[in-house]
């Protein structure tokens, strides 16, 4: 009987010890939470101040400083993701800050294949980014060149250029050449002013009359676009090229230049 009482007293003492330990732990937890409520906001503010004012982060006062810290990816390792639509959406302005920043381009399209400082005029240097990749068997090259200027510490786009991007107008007209060109017919095609195409035949009328080209090459400079329609036959022994320039006023593509060579005559 005395043994049972001793065991009971021992159990009671253990329960009291557990309760006391829990109570003290609760006090400690409440104390810790109180401290956290006071000091946690201060810790967050301190961390933000450290990041922006004390930590050694990348800050560049000039384009040349920025250029030295841009990583370059050469060869097939570069992921070329540019399309014509991407190019068109880039806002540019050579007189003031544009809506396309250097940081945004690097973030979206990755490391360029080339970076260099250039001088577009005597007053300031500009930073040029190049992106490029071979197309198909290597007979064509997709290329994007972007130039950024420093407007009071804001590095924004002032000039853009491309060759042969996916998604250009009329690219779905490319096919097997069905028209055999003669020198006389080539000479009769009306060409407009070189560089503008004013007065030249419209591309829709041209395609309707002469059928699909074997290929289309494209060049874009800022808001201008030129499409080169190529027709070749007899394994390239005969070829003709027609440059169509897009008029800003109407959006029409008109013939601005033509070039041809005839080595084989039609039977």
Q: What is the pLDDT of residues 235-247, one digit of tens each?
A: 656 789 999 999 8
Per-residue model confidence as pLDDT tens digits over 92-145: 999 999 999 998 998 899 888 888 888 766 567 788 999 987 655 455 678 999
The fold for domain 171-261 equals Beta-lactamase Inhibitory Protein; Chain:B, domain 1 (3.30.1450)
235/230 Cα distance (integer angstroms):
13
Q: Does residue 2 or residue 134 have the better pLDDT?
A: 134
Model pLDDT for residues 214-259, shown as the tens digit of each residue: 999 999 999 999 999 999 775 656 789 999 999 876 789 999 999 9
**Coil/strand/helix, residue 184:** helix
Give the contacts of 66 (CB within 8 A, at least 6 positions apart). 60, 102, 127, 155
Q: How far apart are CA 162 and CA 144, in angstroms?
A: 4
Phi and psi for 170 in degrees, rounded to 5? 70, 10
Average model confidence (pLDDT) for the chain?
A: 76
pLDDT of residue 116: 86
- Averaged pLDDT for residues 158-172: 94
């Amino acid at each position: 009987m005395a043994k049972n009482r001793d065991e009971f007293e021992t159990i009671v003492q253990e329960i009291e010890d557990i309760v006391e330990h829990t109570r003290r732990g609760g006090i400690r937890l409440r104390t810790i939470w109180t401290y956290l409520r006071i000091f946690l906001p201060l810790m967050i503010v301190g961390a933000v101040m450290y990041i922006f004012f004390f930590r050694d982060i990348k800050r560049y006062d000039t384009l040349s400083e920025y250029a030295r810290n841009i990583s370059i990816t050469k060869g097939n390792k570069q992921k070329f993701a540019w399309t014509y639509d991407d190019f068109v959406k880039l806002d540019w302005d050579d007189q003031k800050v544009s809506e396309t920043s250097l940081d945004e381009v690097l973030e979206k399209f990755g490391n360029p294949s080339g970076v260099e400082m250039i001088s577009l005029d005597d007053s300031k240097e500009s930073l040029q980014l190049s992106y490029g990749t071979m197309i198909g068997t290597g007979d064509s090259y997709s290329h994007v060149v972007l130039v950024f200027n420093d407007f009071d510490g804001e590095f924004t786009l002032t000039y853009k250029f491309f060759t042969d991007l996916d998604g250009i107008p009329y690219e779905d007209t490319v096919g097997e050449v069905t028209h055999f060109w003669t020198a006389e017919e080539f000479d009769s095609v009306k060409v407009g002013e070189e560089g503008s195409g004013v007065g030249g035949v419209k591309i829709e009328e041209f395609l309707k009359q002469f059928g699909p080209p074997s290929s289309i090459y494209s060049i874009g400079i800022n808001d201008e676009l030129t499409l080169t329609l190529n027709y070749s036959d007899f394994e390239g022994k005969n070829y003709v090229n027609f440059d169509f320039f897009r008029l800003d006023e109407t959006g029409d593509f008109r013939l601005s230049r033509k070039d041809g060579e005839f080595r084989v005559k039609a039977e």
